[in-house]
A and B are shown apart, each in its own frame.
Chain A
Amino acid sequence: MSIVKTTVDRRSFLKVSALSTGGIVLGFNWACTPQEAVRAIPSEWFDVNAFLKIAANGMVTIMSPNPEIGQNVKTSMPMIIAEELDVKWEDVIVEQAPLDTDAFKRQVAGGSQSIRQGWSSLRMAGATAKQMLINAAAKQWGVDPSGLTASEGVISGNGKKITYGEIAAEAANVPVPEEVKLKDPKDFKIIGTERRNVDLNKIVTGQPLFGLDHKVDGMLYSVVLRPPAFGAKLKSFDDSDTRQVNGVQDVVQFGDKIAVLATSTWAAIKGQRALKPEWDLSGQLESTSYHDETMRNLLDTPSEEPKRNDGNVKRAFAEADKVIERTYEAPFLPHNTMEPMNFFANVTAEKVELVGPIQTPEWTRSRVAKLLEREESEVSIDMTRMGGGFGRRLYGDFALEAAEISSMINSPVKVVFTREDDMTAGTYRPGSKYKFRASIKDGQMTGYHLVGAGVNMRNATRENNFPAASLDNYLIESHNLQSNITTGAWRAPITNFLAFAEQSFIDEVAIELGQDQVQFRLDLFERALSNPVGEVGYDVEKFMGVVKLAAEKSNWTEKKDGVYKGFSAYYSHNTYVAEVAEVVMSGGTPKVQKMITAIDCGIVVNPMGAINQVQGGVIDGIGHAMYGELTFEAGVPQSKNFDQYRLIRTSEVPDVEVHFVESNNDPTGLGEPSLPPAGGAIANAIHAATGQRFYQQPFIKEKVVFG
């Protein structure tokens, strides 16, 4: 047990006994399965703090602060509060909190940081509420609170018992304690247990949950025509055919875009297709060939300010017996969330009401306020469950569009992207290239040189990550190619490709030196541990731990007939992951049949959801390494829908075995870190099977391997 100072401010503790939420008793489907008893939702709740309220019957509503994009924080964050509050999970109802920056910290879905950065404040919210309940009971009984204990919603001591529900009204009015006790992890009853997704029942029965499902009376649907090429501008347009479409109410121009407003989604789509725009194409219209050529030149250009420069790389290469040099190339990728971008806005003289799927509600609120020249306090944002994010919903462009259109037409509006709009007006994972060089002298790697170049990448590298600190001579450089194509974060930004390139190169160097790939890595780690060179941007022992665990679980050194293995390991989002791919040859073509993964993410809050995240990240990584690519011709994205863009499908998916390192350390990220190592693991295994290396993604274009 540890005692912590509470840092939750007064605003977070409303300390008002909130009365009826309408007095309507709704049927609540208790524990997902319809066979189980349906309990009534109480009409009266007592707000203990901004995170939770308690009803007289002992039910607890926990507000989940962060946006839910499929990373399952709507289940795991409330689990942390419920643990410290010490209630039965079966007595908990979870609600999505709206944007409320006074009450909640960092309401963001990004960087795999929700659990890691929420950990302390969520525990404190639960523990503080628990102490307030105990203090209220102590006051009622006229005893010292230190003699009382609480467990599973019941306070005991002094030969008496009282439930949280019975004391909740009083607890809402006791002072907020200045210090609270947190549980020792060994006493956890909810954290570390398997808990199902709190929205599971709604998902499998098709109830409204997502932004696209949000609807209000009088709302118009808007489908927007945006410039077809990055760099194009709107000259003029003819909307006469659009206005003939049944249901089309209005057509408005904003900037270089045209919004069609209609009484149904289909009418808006038809109206958009019937527009006749004229585009000004005299601006800079970039093609993939231009990006490729420019970045290849950058890779051969010494940078004036290296990201890191240890020792004397120039001399190491001059004195080398041999130099290995390899270049790896990544295409642009769209995010392709299954739920296309959409947002609801209702802008009136009094307020700006926004509802929809957004990873960054706080940033979006400030941008909308600025755009509409309104006070932030006039702007509200309700976050819906998101049909995927992967980084695309960090950028609130769609919410800003909805707000602008609503303000122009004075009507509630929902902007809906078609799949074509979604794929062609993206904030893409930008293309990048990496040149790795290793100097070999007397059978040892003596120098390491990496040059990265990426589109709109301020830093294409992770200079303090592995193998930093394990080599005397180590040089990292990065170049940026500025582009007018909108780019942004895509699940595990930078590292989603850098890890593949690095781990492929390490594999190649190990083989060149005649060393086992796992032992080669462990030897580098030993150096970083015993005699590090410069800054070490990773915990060497944790990293070694997952490498050893993956090797052990995959029987790495054991040869199996017809099974080819590939190793890869990467550290990102504060989490260590090692992966072994097993490939078999099937009809002359390599097939990934199994992935064995080892992960150190500290305490695993919800093993059931955690396995989903790891499996999802690994398969996502394999899918995009194998198939993903978006190219541009004169600024125009060349794939517009799933008939022109290949995503991994069910029969292409290997088994994924998940092994977590047992840990009592505070939890770290999990939505992203399993993705980066996946591409390298399968590339190295396919090399073991076929002798063929991959230097470009997507792998499927390698005809020698895939025919």
Chain B
Amino acid sequence: MAIFNLKVNGENHQVDVDPDTPILWVLRDNLDLVGTKFGCGIAQCGACTIHLDGTAARSCSVPISQVGEASVTTIEGLSEKGDHPLQEAWREHDVPQCGYCQAGQIMNAASLLSKNPSPSDQEIESAMYGNLCRCTSYLKIKAAIRTAADQA
């Protein structure tokens, strides 16, 4: 075990965990931030997507020892009042079916829009390719990202 200092959603935390612990499990089990979901454990589905210094990362495959000074953002901290343009667009389009993958979808899309505020449809598809939705709500996910991008 080892002590790690983390900055998550603007708050400092200290945790005592094994260095190989994926940040996903630190968020979920140690910090009670369960919005970040476990899907595959091998960075193939995107359900666990968070931001490290504003860039999308698969938290299931980032050991806490590699987080270093990076600032961690989860779905709980994406916006102060839950009103990020993507969260609003998700509401407008009533995107979710089961809803399990949606936090990861939103976090991945937020990273895309922060770097490319007006992506083409093809750029959206390409950026979102790594995020699985087993209910296949893909049409609404794309429409919601389009809405958020067009309103920005």
Contact = CB atoms under 8 A, between A and B. Distances in A.
Asked if A pairs with B, the answer is yes
Interface of A: 32-35, 69-72, 194, 196-197, 199-201, 203-210, 212-213, 215, 221, 246-247, 264-267, 269-270, 336-340, 385-390, 416, 418-420, 608-609, 612-613, 615-616, 619-620, 623, 641-643, 647-651, 653, 655-656
B35 A616 contact: no
Interface of B: 1, 17-18, 20-22, 25, 28-30, 32-42, 44-45, 47, 74-76, 81-83, 87-88, 90-91, 94, 96-103, 106, 125-126, 128-142
Given A647-B132, A649-B129, A642 B42 contact: yes
B82 A612 contact: no
A200 B99 CA distance: 8
Contacts of B128: 650
Most chain B CB within 10 A, of A210, A416, A648, A649, is at A649
Contacts of A213: 34
B98 A385 contact: yes
B37 A205 contact: no
Chain A contact residues, majority secondary structure: loop
A204 to B, nearest CB: 5
Given A33-B88, A642-B45, A651-B129, A612 B37 contact: no
Contacts of B94: 194, 196-197, 200, 608-609, 612
A200 B96 contact: yes
Given A265-B28, A338-B98, A205 B75 contact: yes
A650 B131 contact: yes
A71 B98 CA distance: 7
A641 B44 contact: yes
A253 to B, nearest CB: 25
Given A69-B98, A419-B39, A205 B87 contact: yes
A525 B128 CA distance: 44
B136 A623 contact: yes
Given A203-B99, A266-B18, A642-B45, 6 more contacts: A69-B98, A206-B35, A246-B1, A265-B38, A266-B29, A616-B136
Q: What are the nearest 4 A-B pairs in CB distance?
A: A206-B35, A387-B100, A70-B98, A206-B75
A421 B98 CA distance: 21
Contacts of A264: 17, 21, 25, 29-30
Most chain A CB within 10 A, of B30, B75, B97, is at B97
A297 B117 CA distance: 59
Given A616-B137, A642-B40, A212 B96 contact: no
A34 B82 contact: yes
A246 B18 contact: yes
Given A265-B29, A338-B47, A641-B42, A205 B76 contact: yes
A107 B139 CA distance: 31
Contacts of A196: 91, 94
Given A200-B91, A204-B87, A206-B75, A388 B98 contact: yes
A647 B46 CA distance: 13
Most chain B CB within 10 A, of A34, A203, A647, is at A203
Contacts of A215: 32, 34
Nearest to B97: A70
Contacts of B126: 651
Contact of B135 (A269, A388, A651): A388
B136 A619 contact: yes
A653 B82 contact: no
A67 to B, nearest CB: 11
Contacts of A616: 97, 135-137
Given A264-B17, A338-B47, A651 B32 contact: no
Contact of B139 (A340, A647, A655): A655
A613 B94 CA distance: 12
Given A246-B1, A386-B98, A205 B35 contact: yes
Most chain B CB within 10 A, of A194, A266, A340, is at A266
A353 B147 CA distance: 44
Contact of A200 (B37, B81, B90): B90
B136 A620 contact: yes
Contacts of A418: 41
B91 A266 contact: no
Nearest to A207: B35
A339 B136 contact: no
B100 A210 contact: yes
A651 B125 contact: yes
Contacts of B137: 612, 615-616
Contacts of A649: 129-130, 132, 138
Contacts of B140: 612, 615
Contacts of B37: 210, 212, 338-339, 387
Nearest to A262: B29
A574 B29 CA distance: 44
B138 A266 contact: no
